[in-house]
Amino acid sequence: MLAGMPRPRALLLGLWLPLLACDSKAVEAQTAHIQALEGRLQRVEAEAAALTARVKLLEDERLRQPPPQPPAGAAANIVVEVTADGLRVGDETVDLDRFQALLRERLVARPDLSLHVKADTSVEYARVIEVMDRAKAAGVAKIAMVADPALKR
């Protein structure tokens, strides 16, 4: 070979060394990028775990809360007792006009109000129908009859 000329093997190594160095740098860059992504992934997983724990805590807290109560004095239903002496709503004895006004007042607070009609056996059927008609006129949509189980025949 010519003096001063690199040998073929040295020439080959000389050509490959920069390529190996370049690949080595590219590999190092990719490795660093992958490590950075893994670090970000770990942070995201930690945040997701923290959020999941927070949601579970909030759900548990919500489940421990008592259910919301209707406004005071506004029961979901009203029981009217129709007797030979008149009408009774709770402890109050009322006439038909006061009964209708009372229903209207309570419907403002509870539009889903239902009326339960409990009638004595001595009361005429027409009187019970009159009470139910007044309730409908007041705006009550749900009316039910209450039977006394002791009166089975």
Residue 134 has pLDDT above 90, yes or no: yes
Round to whole Å and give the CA distance between 138 and 132.
Answer: 10
Statement: residue 140 has pLDDT above 60? yes
Q: Could you tell me the residue range of the domain that residue 49 belongs to?
A: 9-65
Q: What's the total number of domains in the chain?
A: 2
User: Do 22 and 42 lie in a common domain?
Assistant: yes
Regarding whether 115 and 55 lie in a shared domain, the answer is no
Q: Residue 70 domain-assigned?
A: no
Kindly give the residue spans of alpha helices, DSSP state H, lying in the chain. 8-64, 96-109, 125-138
The verdict on 92 and 141 lying in the same domain is: yes
Identify whether residues 61 and 16 lie together within a single domain.
yes
Task: Give the chain's largest Cα–Cα span.
Answer: 136
Distances (CA, A) of 58 to 55, 61, 64, 105: 5, 5, 10, 38
Same structural domain for residues 56 and 97? no
Q: What does the mean pLDDT of the chain come to?
A: 81
Q: Read off the pLDDT band of 54 (50, 70, 90).
A: very high
